[in-house]
Chain A
Amino acid sequence: MSAASVLFDAPGPRARARHRVIAAAGVLALLGLLAFVVVRLADPANNQLTAEKWLPFLTPTAWTAYLLPGLGGTLLAAALSVLLSIVFGLLLGVGRLAPQRWLRWACGAFVEFFRSVPVLMMMLFAYYAGLFALRISGPLLPLFGVVVGLTVYNSCVLAELVRSGVNGLPAGQRESGLAIGLTPFQTLTEILLPQAITAMLPSMLSQLVVILKDSALGSMIAYLELLRSGTNLAVAFANLIPTLIVLAVIYIVLNSLLTRLAAAVEQRLRRGPRAIVTQSVTAGFVPGPAAEPDVPETIMPRPDDRPGRRREPRRPRG
């Protein structure tokens, strides 16, 4: 659409007419699909659109007794796991870049192994370890299980992002750091990490959405969270399908808010004095922000922020 795209020529009158036909067909198809769904749901054999099934969501009890406590649990587990994952992700990532070979290997093995185990298994392991090894008792145990399970897995993912972010920086960054007399460790923490983290922020932020969604697995170890409390609501009101739809909407809103918040944080960091990797070169094919109403443009990696790419600047940097 916008002039920014280099994938197609500016449409002429015939192309514009063709695009309008495609657009109209697309809209019609979508409307047809929606109509099909609504008609089938309203079908007397299903009766999913009755007031009896939807009105419970307008009562305060549905929210105070089920949805809000569940939401609180989900947010608590997600917030703790996000903080801890970032801390341990950084530590592991730095460990994988350390000059000591044994440390690199240890961190590498940890990351590769725990990235491969399903999060649910990790939660169950943490829960049993908390119970039998650490002797945690009472209602804190499920929270411990959820947070440790999510943290172990997600810090491994974040560690990989940190590593590839640092590896993707131009070699000159490290060399000049060493040349002005910084130790390798100082070079890493003062020069490389700030740039790498800024570059990898989009992927890191989408990982946070995953953490929030995965907290739903906590119901398997008796952690009170949104999905489980929502399912209990559905039993009490015998309205499973409307509840599934409402839950999906809540998760979508929640995660969109998180994405937006994350994008705002990212904007701030990019503007920060240290964020020197922020180039204004827009060589990519990303359509302008107008075409992506939901995902802010900055969620996409900038072409020049990619990891593992050219060591030499191809063009003068702005």
Chain B
Amino acid sequence: MMTGGTPRWAIGGALVLALGMSGCAGASSAGGDPGSGGKVTVGIKFDQPGLGLKNGDSFEGFDVEVARYVAKELGYTDVEFRETPSAQRETMLQSDQVKMIFATYSITDDRKKKVSFAGPYFIAGQDLLVSASASGITGPESLNGKKLCSVVGSTSAKKIKDTIANEVQLQEYDTYSKCVEALASGSIDAVTTDNVILAGFAAQPQYAGKLKVVGKPFSTERYGVGIKQGDTKLCTAINDALAKMVSDGSWQKALDDTVGTSGFTPDAATNPPKADACA
């Protein structure tokens, strides 16, 4: 009975593998060339309110709005959103799982070794999120002796501890949502990351009136559109679309409708930004 069963399992496994492989050959790519119509797959975050959030069956946020606008300008009729975890953003572009990434993706030199960027479409700065009733924290200098939260593998919190407030205690979680939950329960005093991400949480209806962004950004993060390395044609097309989005007022409207509802206004000196030249 057992020996009779083994080959059956083996056959079943082989079949499944074969099916998988045939499915692989037929797998569609993330989207055709711009202007050819059809569907495009775009990578976003699913867990950043105000920027990229999966809300039921729909998606909402500033990143989502920019992605939709750009996709439409590029001639795509349909946009499919996929979640791109931070650590896999580069590989998901390289493996054609997504055509473009709009996911609070800061342009850095190290990342440019693997992918190219269009944009930037937004300039964020590191800031603090605190409880609305807290008056003691006015900026990173006032954090000594306080508890500060950020995500594992980000510079933001360490920079504060090393250079501004040496006596701050750092709590790190794998997601911002855990930091915000800890802030809401009073276990920590502040959350730090890019101001626009913090504003997104403060704008969530469940936290309305309970959390606020301090509003003194102290760094510069340039959010770009991640694309496959060397795709200059796509990069130029995206930059044109972004320029049009700013000039026809859609950029400002998208911002006001999403993160703006918490009263957040971005640094007007740098926003809306001019796109870099496509290399």
- Map CB proximity to A onto B93-114 as digits: 1 under 8 Å, 0 otherwise: 0111100000000000000000
B97 and A269: CB pair below 8 A? Answer: no
Give B174-201 as 1s and 0s: 1 = Cβ < 8 Å from A's Cβ atoms: 0101100100011000000000000000
The distance in angstroms between the C-alpha atoms of A275 and B2, with both chains bound, is: 9
A138 at the interface (CB under 8 A from B): yes
Partner of A235, one of B57, B88, B177: B177
Q: What per-residue 1/0 map shows which CB atoms of A31-64 lie under 8 Å from chain B?
A: 0000000000000011000001000000001001
Q: What 0/1 pattern do residues 46 to 89 of A give for CB contact below 8 A with B?
A: 10000010000000010011100000000000001001101100
A91 to B121, CA, bound (A): 54
Question: Once bound together, how far apart are the Cα atoms of A254 and B2, in whole Å?
Answer: 26
Closest residue of A by beta carbon distance from B185: A46
Min CB gap A96→B, angstroms: 16
**Given the interface contacts A83-B13, A87-B9, A235-B49, does A190 sit within 8 Å of B95 by beta carbon?**
no
Q: Is the CB of B53 within 8 A of A144?
A: no
Determine if A259 is an interface residue (Cβ-Cβ < 8 Å). no
Given contact pairs A138-B97, A139-B27, A52 touches B3 in the complex (Cβ within 8 A): no
Known: A136-B24, A140-B27. A238 touches B204 (CB 8 A): yes
A90 to B13, CA, bound (A): 13
A299 an interface residue at 8 Å Cβ cutoff?
no
Nearest chain B residue, comparing its CB with the CB of A91? B10
Which of A90, A137, A234, A273 meets B27, CB within 8 Å? Answer: A137
Select the stretch in B65-73, B79-87, B135-143, B145-153 that faces chain A: B79-87
Q: Restricting to B1-56, which residues have a CB under 8 Å from any CB of A?
A: 1-3, 6, 9-10, 12-13, 16-17, 20, 23-24, 27-30, 46-49, 53-56
Contacting pair B181 A241 (CB below 8 A): yes
Binding site for B on A (CB under 8 A): 45-46, 52, 61, 64-66, 80, 83-84, 86-87, 90, 127-128, 131, 136-144, 189-190, 193-194, 197-198, 219-222, 224, 228, 231-232, 234-241, 269, 272-275
Q: Which residues of A contact B95 (CB under 8 A)?
A: 131, 136-138, 141
Report A-chain residues with C-beta under 8 Å of the C-beta of B97: 137-139, 141-142, 222
- How many residues belonging to B are interface residues under a CB distance threshold of 8 Å? 47
A46 to B182, CA, bound (A): 10
What's the least CB distance linking A27 to chain B, in Å?
30
20 CB < 8 A contacts A-B? A45-B185, A65-B54, A65-B57, A131-B95, A138-B95, A140-B20, A140-B24, A140-B27, A220-B88, A222-B97, A231-B175, A236-B49, A236-B54, A236-B55, A237-B206, A240-B177, A272-B1, A272-B2, A273-B1, A274-B1
Nearest residue in B to A221 (C-beta to C-beta)?
Answer: B88
Contacts of A131 in B (CB 8 A): 91, 94-95
- Expressed in whole angstroms, the Cα–Cα distance for A142 and B206 within the complex equals 33
Which one of B54, B83, B207 contacts A238 once the chains associate, using CB atoms below 8 Å?
B207
Interface residues of chain B, those whose CB is within 8 Å of chain A, are 1-3, 6, 9-10, 12-13, 16-17, 20, 23-24, 27-30, 46-49, 53-57, 82-85, 87-88, 91-92, 94-97, 175, 177-178, 181, 185-186, 204, 206-207
Bound-state Cα–Cα, A189 to B204, Å: 62
B96 touches A222 (CB 8 A): no
Chain A residues whose CB sits within 8 angstroms of the CB of B13 once the complex forms: 83-84, 86-87
Question: Quick one: which of A138, A220, A232 contacts B87, CB cutoff 8 A?
Answer: A220
Tell me which residues across on chain A come within 8 A of B91, comparing CB atoms: 127-128, 131
Q: In whole Å, how far is A163's beta carbon from the nearest beta carbon of chain B? A: 16
CA distance A272 to B5 in the complex (A): 12
- Chain B residue nearest to A53 (CB atoms) is B206
| Chain A minimum-CB-distance residue to B176 | A235
What CA separation (Å) do A236 and B55 show in the bound complex? 6
B2:A224 contact, CB within 8 angstroms: no
Told that A189-B3, A221-B85 touch, could you supply 17 new A-B pairs with CB distance under 8 A? A52-B206, A64-B57, A80-B16, A83-B12, A83-B16, A90-B6, A131-B95, A140-B23, A141-B97, A220-B87, A220-B88, A221-B88, A222-B83, A235-B175, A236-B53, A238-B206, A275-B2
